[in-house]
Chains A and B, each alone.
Chain A
Amino acid sequence: EDKVVQSPLSLVVHEGDTVTLNCSYEVTNFRSLLWYKQEKKAPTFLFMLTSSGIEKKSGRLSSILDKKELFSILNITATQTGDSAVYLCAVEETSGSRLTFGEGTQLTVNP
């Protein structure tokens, strides 16, 4: 059974801090790993990672995948209160075309 584990489950930081969110996975036929940000409603897409060692970057957010060790990290630098959200990690398998999600990391950024 596919499994995705995120850590920490909850994190409280101050504005300006840098945070690292972790995602480890076990999946039979790995295709991609995705990161989403969820505020009050629908998850919104951040990154899709398919290759090891290639960093994806968008503004203050970046992410990298290690397919050998089966994990990914999401970094957020110079955090802002608007970064407060649940960050979801999901893995997609090649067959069955479905995503398995982790529980998410609740990030709270205090002013």
Chain B
Amino acid sequence: DAGITQSPRHKVTETGTPVTLRCHQTENHRYMYWYRQDPGHGLRLIHYSYGVKDTDKGEVSDGYSVSRSKTEDFLLTLESATSSQTSVYFCATAGTARNTIYFGEGSWLTVV
């Protein structure tokens, strides 16, 4: 357990609305990640961060943006939610040594 808290844990929203998911960690880990998990696709990287204000795109970044203004918080924003973004979103963190990567409990997002 790496002290990762995701919020909200569950959300239903309408198409076209903005949504922000928050990941908060208490371990002072340098690396933070946002993944989405869908049947038939496994876990796919959306965006990741390797330090405050340092972020980069993953393999499925279209329609998503991120921000990391503090070490402990990594925000994922859907500017205008679409039904294809209905998914389970996992935040993950890793320390500088990257000896292991810890996952949060997941955020279930439904876009109707």
Contact = CB atoms under 8 A, between A and B. Distances in A.
A88 B33 contact: no
Contact of B94 (A44, A96, A97): A97
Interface residues of A, number: 23
A42 B90 contact: yes
Interface stretch (B10-18, B39-47, B70-78): B39-47
Contact of B44 (A1, A36, A42, A101): A101
| Interface of chain B: mostly helix, strand, loop or mixed | strand
B53 interface: no
A101 B48 contact: no
Contacts of A1: 59
Contacts, number: 54
Contact of A104 (B42, B45, B104): B42
Given A42-B90, A42-B106, A99 B101 contact: yes
A97 B43 contact: no
A98 B42 contact: no
Given A42-B90, A48-B99, A103 B42 contact: yes
A41 interface: yes
A64 to B, nearest CB: 18
B104 A101 contact: no
Contacts of B59: 1, 100
Interface in A71-111: 88, 90, 92, 96-104
Interface of A: 1, 31-32, 34, 36, 41-45, 48, 88, 90, 92, 96-104
10 closest residue pairs by CB, A with B: A101-B43, A42-B103, A103-B42, A101-B42, A43-B103, A45-B100, A42-B105, A98-B48, A41-B105, A97-B31
19 contacts: A1-B59, A36-B103, A41-B105, A42-B90, A42-B103, A42-B105, A44-B103, A45-B100, A97-B31, A97-B48, A97-B50, A98-B45, A98-B58, A99-B45, A99-B92, A101-B42, A101-B44, A103-B40, A104-B42
